[in-house]
Structure 1
Amino acid sequence: MNAHLEQLSPQPLWRHFRTLCNTPRPSGHEAALVALLEAWADQRGLAHDRDAYGNLRLRKPASPGHEGAPGIVLQGHLDMVAQANADHPHDFTRDPIDTFVEDGWLHARHTTLGADNGLGVAAALAVLEDDTLTHGPLEALFTLEEESSMGGALNLAEDWLDGRLLLNLDSEDRGQVYIGCAGGADVMVDAQLPTSALRDEEVAVRLSLTGLRGGHSGIDIDKGRGNANRLLMRVLRDLESLDARLVDYRGGTLRNALPREAFATLALPVDAVEAARERLPTLEARLRDELAGADDGLALALERVSAPEGEALTRDASRLLVAALHAAPCGVERMSVTVPGVVETSNNLGVVSLEAGRFHLCALVRSLRDSAVEDLADRFRALFDLIGARTRVENAYPGWTPDPDSPLLARFRALHAARLDVDPQVKVIHAGLECGILGAKYPDMSMISFGPLIRGAHSPDERVELASVEEFWGLLRALIEDLA
């Protein structure tokens, strides 16, 4: 499948990306790809090993006469975000990604593309097989479970890597180089809430909010896009005056993707159903007006459904839960003063569920300041303590402190200007690059991050500009040779 990719340029990179598209690799399911890459390394005569967590390292000796050059680590993550449109059945553990080219961009049909970070991995593999390249000692580090928990980087073996220059290939903007990133943590909230049976005068209705763009919960958090969980809570607050009670709820699928859809089953007095239906056009128009120009596809729908087998939350429990979620931090919390134009602290209400009275929330807090991550997580704890929920913080990872005086950065800037006749923009990103975690484990390692132009990451709108991939490939090869 995806044979057309091998007709694109640079051919070695796209050939490896085809392999990645054809090999299912959602977070937690990278084993088949790891085995495939190990077999490929054996065929090429490349040394390979894994650490205790399963992160994969491939190694290639320096070109003759360049053994004394600084060792370079090419780094990316093997997993991809698994997001598909609701009307498109796709099993990310079994089905390949179906790609197509349109107007100079590569897309996937109705799913995430996996350019994040498949193109970085493909570029590293293409470098390792390029025998025309002059280079010092090379290592390719491929981590696991970046998208779900940063697990690979957090559990990376210390004193394992030899190189002291790291090129992270997981950025998504042409003409930019990143030297810092936000840290973050998952905030998990759970509760068993009281329920009661539906009354004789109640019926069940299904409330849907669909059509949002979604996107990356860090990079796109300041784009004004809607969060389906946040918006549906506003609708539910309005319907409380009709004595609506939550039966179940499902919104969002990943904590690091902006939720595009949310669905709630409600117990509603039968004589209030028509009133609820009549309110929806006004509520929809209000939300669409607020999102105009940033997220124009929002749609609300209400339909009668069969009575559920389970019970609904009690009226008080339903009101308290909706109120807590309505009040929870969501979106940009603070912009940075020291790095103008960059989000300092944010939160994404990523995954919310309710079933048989069991409530679960997974939010992702990010910040350039570790203290702000801790404070925002504590605000969640304080808020949800009020409804008797249990809050815990997991998978915390540090930010990457910028080093604008890095010699590696200076070399990249000079090379970029010489090749492309323009200086790169030096940036700090509001996303969880693995560099912060790797830097804590290898404090003497110098790092930069760059990549091709990717848009819509973490959503089925994900796409990559083909011309930017050629530019990225040329820069990567030239930098490796320059450092040799």
Structure 2
Amino acid sequence: MNDHLDTLAPEPLWRHFRTLCNTPRPSGREQAILKKITDWADARGLEYEFDETGNLLIRKAATPGHEDAPGVVLQSHVDMVSQADSDIDHDFERDPIETYVEGGWLHARGTTLGADNGVGAAAALAILEDDALTHGPLEALFTIEEEASLVGARHLAPNWLHGEYLLNLDSEFRGEVYIGCAGGNDVKVDHDFKQLEVESNQQVLEVSVSGLVGGHSGMDIDKGRANANVLLASALWALRDTGVQLVSWSGGTMRNAITRDASATIVVQAEAETLVGETLRAFEQRERGLYQGIDDGLRIEVTQAATPARQALSQDDSRRLLAVLAAMPYGIDRMSVAVPGVAESSNNIGVLRLEHGHLHLGAMVRALNLDSAEALNERFRALFSLIDVEAIAGEGYPGWAPNAQSPLLARFIELHEREVGAPAEVKVIHAGLECGIIGAKYPGLDMISFGPTILGAHSPTERVELEAVEEFYRLLQAMIEELA
């Protein structure tokens, strides 16, 4: 599978990326790819070890004569977001990612590509195998479950890394270097509602929202894209006068991906079915106008449910719950004053489930300042308290405070201008790079983050620019030699 990747340049990077594509590696299921990486390290005689969480650290001794150069840590994560088009039957725990090249970009067929952060991991492996490269002491840190609340970084072993500089390879825009990122936390709701028997004269309907662009809940949250969970909640709230009762709900799989598809099963009195259709058609027309030019594929459909429903929430509980779901904060909450042009805080309604009366909600709050995150957490608590349901904010993780005086940054800017012929743009990103957490554990580390251009991360439109990968790898090689 993916033989064509071996024809791309730089060859070592794409060869390793082919292994990553051919080996399923969703968050929490990284064992297979880590085994392939350690087998490769064994074959090359490289030293490696795991910490208690399962993060992998590979060490390579310095080029002779450069033992006293500052140590460099190459950091990436090996897991990927698992998202597929609704018409694609793909098992992310068993099936490889099928890739193709079109117009200078590498894509996947109907699924996420995993360039986030597979290209960074492949680059680190390519550097480790390059015996012609002059370097100081090298460490390659491969973290796990980054896409699932940054688990690997959160539980990274202390006193494990020896390097003075850390190059995070998880940024996604050519020509940019990142020196800061948002922190945040997860918000979860789990609650059991009482169910009632469905009456024989009630109609069982399926309401779905589909055709949305989706995307990364940090880097794309400022683009005004629709969230299927949010739209579905608003659509069903519009039906509040029809006596609607909720049976089930299914929307989203990852709290850090903008939800593209969601559906709910409802029951209404038979005489209300026509009103339901008319109301949803009017709602769809309004929303398509609001999202014109952003989510032009937006569809809201109502059909007869394929299977009968035996139980549903009461009309009162359904109405109260839909009111809360329709009022949840979504998108950018406020913009930063300290870093103009960057979001200060935001929220994404990533996962929403209702099964057999049990409601599960998974939201992701991001913020440059954890006080801003707590303000959003309080809004969730207050909102759900109105229906006597508890919203629980998980332990927050720190952002990465920018250091414009970083010696590593200064060297990278000089190198970038020399190698590329243009200055690198210094940025702060509204996404949860692992640098914030690693920096808190290793406060002496000087860190920057850079990478090739990746668009559509966390969605099946994900693609990576081939020319940008070549430039990224050339910069990485040059930076390592510069620091040696």
TM-score (structure 2 length as normaliser): 0.99
- Aligned residue for 1:163? 163
- Aligned equivalents of 1:308, 1:186: Cα separation in 2: 35
- Aligned residue for 2:142? 142
- Aligned residue for 2:58? 58
- Aligned equivalents of 1:12, 1:191: Cα separation in 2: 50
Instruction: After superposing the two structures, state which structure 1 stretch, 304-313 or 340-349, moved more.
Output: 304-313
- Aligned residue for 1:46? 46
- Aligned residue for 1:443? 443
CA offset at residue 309 of structure 1? 4.2
- Aligned residue for 1:153? 153
SS of aligned partner of 2:67: coil
Instruction: After superposing the two structures, state which structure 1 stretch, 308-317 or 365-374, moved more.
Output: 308-317
For 1:87-106, what aligned pairs fall within 5 Å after superposition?
87-106=87-106
CA offset at residue 312 of structure 1? 1.0
- For the aligned residue pairs, the C-alpha RMSD in angstroms reads 0.9
- Aligned residue for 1:352? 352
- Aligned equivalents of 1:479, 1:307: Cα separation in 2: 60
- Aligned equivalents of 1:449, 1:156: Cα separation in 2: 18
- Aligned residue for 1:257? 257
Indicate conservation of the 8 Å contact 1:349/1:362, yes or no. Answer: yes
Indicate conservation of the 8 Å contact 1:229/1:349, yes or no. Answer: yes
Indicate conservation of the 8 Å contact 1:181/1:400, yes or no. Answer: yes
Indicate conservation of the 8 Å contact 1:99/1:107, yes or no. Answer: yes
- Aligned residue for 1:317? 317
- Aligned equivalents of 2:483, 2:168: Cα separation in 1: 15
- Aligned residue for 1:369? 369
Instruction: After superposing the two structures, state which structure 1 stretch, 71-80 or 414-423, moved more.
Output: 414-423
Indicate conservation of the 8 Å contact 2:217/2:258, yes or no. Answer: yes
Are 1:477 and 2:477 an aligned pair? yes
Q: Deviations over 1:200-245 (max 9, x none)?
A: 3311000011000000000000101101111111111111111111
Indicate conservation of the 8 Å contact 2:245/2:313, yes or no. Answer: yes
CA offset at residue 100 of structure 1? 0.1
- Aligned equivalents of 2:327, 2:207: Cα separation in 1: 20
Indicate conservation of the 8 Å contact 1:2/1:18, yes or no. Answer: yes
- Aligned equivalents of 1:348, 1:58: Cα separation in 2: 35
Any gaps of 5 or more consecutive residues in structure 1? none
For 1:85-484, what aligned pairs fall within 5 Å after superposition?
85-306=85-306, 308-484=308-484
Indicate conservation of the 8 Å contact 2:198/2:309, yes or no. Answer: no
SS of aligned partner of 1:24: coil
CA offset at residue 333 of structure 1? 0.1
Residue type of the partner of 1:188?
Answer: K
SS of aligned partner of 1:79: coil
SS of aligned partner of 1:396: coil
Residue type of the partner of 1:164?
Answer: E
- Aligned equivalents of 2:461, 2:429: Cα separation in 1: 21
Are 1:35 and 2:46 an aligned pair? no
Distance 1:125 1:199, change over 3 A: same
- Aligned residue for 1:5? 5
Indicate conservation of the 8 Å contact 1:310/1:356, yes or no. Answer: no
Q: Deviations over 1:129-184 (max 9, x none)?
A: 00110000000000000001211000000000110100000000010000000001
SS of aligned partner of 2:122: helix
SS of aligned partner of 1:292: coil
SS of aligned partner of 1:345: strand
- Aligned equivalents of 1:143, 1:419: Cα separation in 2: 29
Indicate conservation of the 8 Å contact 2:183/2:397, yes or no. Answer: yes
Residue type of the partner of 2:224?
Answer: G
SS of aligned partner of 2:25: coil
CA offset at residue 307 of structure 1? 5.6
Residue type of the partner of 1:87?
Answer: D
Residue type of the partner of 1:202?
Answer: Q
CA offset at residue 395 of structure 1? 5.0
CA offset at residue 306 of structure 1? 4.9
SS of aligned partner of 1:222: helix
- Aligned equivalents of 1:11, 1:214: Cα separation in 2: 32
SS of aligned partner of 1:397: coil
- Aligned equivalents of 2:460, 2:98: Cα separation in 1: 12
- Aligned residue for 1:77? 77
Any gaps of 5 or more consecutive residues in structure 2? none
CA offset at residue 194 of structure 1? 2.2
- Residue correspondences, number: 484
- Aligned equivalents of 1:30, 1:394: Cα separation in 2: 24
State the identity as a percent: 58
Instruction: After superposing the two structures, state which structure 1 stretch, 300-309 or 79-88, moved more.
Output: 300-309
Deviation beyond 3 Å, 4+ runs, structure 1:
306-310
- Aligned equivalents of 1:74, 1:434: Cα separation in 2: 12
Residue type of the partner of 2:378?
Answer: D
- Aligned equivalents of 1:195, 1:315: Cα separation in 2: 10
SS of aligned partner of 2:85: coil
SS of aligned partner of 1:126: helix
CA offset at residue 316 of structure 1? 0.9
Residue type of the partner of 1:477?
Answer: Q
SS of aligned partner of 1:371: helix
Residue type of the partner of 2:397?
Answer: Y
Residue type of the partner of 1:466?
Answer: L
SS of aligned partner of 2:308: coil
